[in-house]
Amino acid sequence: MTAPAFSVEVAPIEGMPHASSMALGGRITLDEASAVRSEILGWLTSTDASRIVMELSNVEKMDTSGAAVLAEAIRVGRDHGQSVLLCSPSESVLRIFRLAGFEDVLRCCCSDPEETHRRLTS
Protein backbone atom coordinates (compact mmCIF):
# COMPACT_ATOMS: atom_id res chain seq x y z
CA MET A 1 0.00 0.00 0.00
CA THR A 2 1.41 3.41 -0.95
CA ALA A 3 1.32 6.52 1.21
CA PRO A 4 -1.32 9.13 0.35
CA ALA A 5 -0.24 11.98 -1.92
CA PHE A 6 -1.56 14.49 0.60
CA SER A 7 -1.42 15.02 4.33
CA VAL A 8 -3.81 16.63 6.80
CA GLU A 9 -2.90 17.53 10.38
CA VAL A 10 -5.33 19.20 12.79
CA ALA A 11 -4.31 21.02 15.97
CA PRO A 12 -5.79 23.63 18.32
CA ILE A 13 -4.28 27.11 18.15
CA GLU A 14 -2.68 27.89 21.49
CA GLY A 15 -4.04 30.90 23.33
CA MET A 16 -7.06 31.19 21.04
CA PRO A 17 -10.19 29.55 22.35
CA HIS A 18 -12.36 27.91 19.71
CA ALA A 19 -9.61 28.17 17.08
CA SER A 20 -8.01 25.27 15.23
CA SER A 21 -5.61 24.83 12.39
CA MET A 22 -5.55 22.28 9.63
CA ALA A 23 -2.20 21.92 7.89
CA LEU A 24 -2.47 20.55 4.36
CA GLY A 25 0.50 19.15 2.50
CA GLY A 26 1.41 17.35 -0.69
CA ARG A 27 -0.86 17.48 -3.72
CA ILE A 28 -4.47 18.57 -4.02
CA THR A 29 -5.27 17.70 -7.61
CA LEU A 30 -8.05 15.81 -9.38
CA ASP A 31 -6.65 12.48 -8.13
CA GLU A 32 -6.71 13.55 -4.46
CA ALA A 33 -9.62 16.03 -4.45
CA SER A 34 -12.32 13.60 -3.33
CA ALA A 35 -10.29 12.26 -0.39
CA VAL A 36 -9.11 15.74 0.65
CA ARG A 37 -12.70 17.01 0.43
CA SER A 38 -13.92 14.19 2.68
CA GLU A 39 -11.20 14.89 5.26
CA ILE A 40 -11.76 18.65 5.33
CA LEU A 41 -15.55 18.69 5.27
CA GLY A 42 -15.80 15.85 7.79
CA TRP A 43 -13.62 17.78 10.20
CA LEU A 44 -15.31 21.16 9.60
CA THR A 45 -18.75 19.76 10.29
CA SER A 46 -17.64 17.93 13.45
CA THR A 47 -15.38 20.47 15.15
CA ASP A 48 -16.61 23.01 17.68
CA ALA A 49 -13.94 25.51 16.56
CA SER A 50 -15.41 28.73 15.21
CA ARG A 51 -12.13 30.07 13.81
CA ILE A 52 -10.31 27.85 11.32
CA VAL A 53 -6.88 28.32 9.76
CA MET A 54 -5.94 26.14 6.81
CA GLU A 55 -2.16 26.20 6.51
CA LEU A 56 -1.18 25.76 2.85
CA SER A 57 2.59 26.34 2.90
CA ASN A 58 3.29 22.61 2.38
CA VAL A 59 0.93 22.19 -0.58
CA GLU A 60 3.30 21.25 -3.39
CA LYS A 61 0.80 21.15 -6.24
CA MET A 62 -2.81 22.16 -6.66
CA ASP A 63 -5.13 22.34 -9.65
CA THR A 64 -8.62 23.74 -10.07
CA SER A 65 -10.07 20.62 -8.41
CA GLY A 66 -8.12 21.47 -5.27
CA ALA A 67 -9.14 25.10 -5.50
CA ALA A 68 -12.79 24.01 -5.70
CA VAL A 69 -12.36 21.88 -2.57
CA LEU A 70 -10.96 24.84 -0.61
CA ALA A 71 -13.68 27.17 -1.91
CA GLU A 72 -16.28 24.65 -0.78
CA ALA A 73 -14.59 24.37 2.62
CA ILE A 74 -14.86 28.14 3.10
CA ARG A 75 -18.55 28.05 2.15
CA VAL A 76 -19.32 25.07 4.40
CA GLY A 77 -17.43 26.71 7.24
CA ARG A 78 -19.48 29.87 6.86
CA ASP A 79 -22.66 27.80 6.79
CA HIS A 80 -21.58 26.34 10.16
CA GLY A 81 -20.72 29.77 11.62
CA GLN A 82 -16.98 29.34 11.18
CA SER A 83 -14.47 31.89 9.98
CA VAL A 84 -12.04 30.12 7.63
CA LEU A 85 -8.69 31.62 6.65
CA LEU A 86 -6.13 30.17 4.25
CA CYS A 87 -2.59 30.82 5.48
CA SER A 88 0.61 31.00 3.45
CA PRO A 89 -0.56 29.81 0.04
CA SER A 90 2.26 29.65 -2.47
CA GLU A 91 2.22 31.87 -5.52
CA SER A 92 1.25 28.89 -7.68
CA VAL A 93 -1.74 28.18 -5.39
CA LEU A 94 -2.80 31.84 -5.56
CA ARG A 95 -2.50 31.70 -9.34
CA ILE A 96 -4.95 28.76 -9.46
CA PHE A 97 -7.45 30.75 -7.36
CA ARG A 98 -7.08 33.72 -9.71
CA LEU A 99 -7.45 31.55 -12.83
CA ALA A 100 -10.57 29.95 -11.38
CA GLY A 101 -12.01 33.40 -10.58
CA PHE A 102 -12.34 32.59 -6.87
CA GLU A 103 -12.24 36.16 -5.57
CA ASP A 104 -14.02 35.12 -2.36
CA VAL A 105 -11.27 32.57 -1.68
CA LEU A 106 -8.56 35.17 -2.33
CA ARG A 107 -10.12 37.42 0.35
CA CYS A 108 -9.68 34.54 2.82
CA CYS A 109 -5.94 34.22 2.13
CA CYS A 110 -3.29 35.44 4.55
CA SER A 111 0.29 35.79 3.40
CA ASP A 112 1.89 34.69 6.67
CA PRO A 113 1.08 33.55 10.25
CA GLU A 114 1.29 37.11 11.60
CA GLU A 115 -1.41 38.35 9.22
CA THR A 116 -3.49 35.30 10.10
CA HIS A 117 -3.16 36.08 13.82
CA ARG A 118 -4.18 39.70 13.27
CA ARG A 119 -7.25 38.68 11.29
CA LEU A 120 -8.25 36.04 13.83
CA THR A 121 -8.08 38.46 16.73
CA SER A 122 -9.73 41.45 15.07
Q: Check whether 120 has a pLDDT greater than 90.
A: no
pLDDT in tens, 107-119: 999 998 889 989 9
Domain segments of the chain as ranges: 6-121
The full 3-state SS of the chain, as one line of letters, equals CCCCCEEEEEEECCCCCCEEEEEEEEEECHHHHHHHHHHHHHHHHHCCCCEEEEEEEEEEEECHHHHHHHHHHHHHHHHCCCEEEEECCCHHHHHHHHHHCCHHHHHCEECCHHHHHHHHHC
**Domain 6-121 falls in which CATH fold?**
Transcription Regulator spoIIAA (3.30.750)
pLDDT in tens, 77-115: 999 999 999 999 988 889 999 998 998 899 999 998 889
pLDDT in tens, 34-88: 999 999 999 999 999 999 999 999 999 999 999 999 999 999 999 999 999 999 9
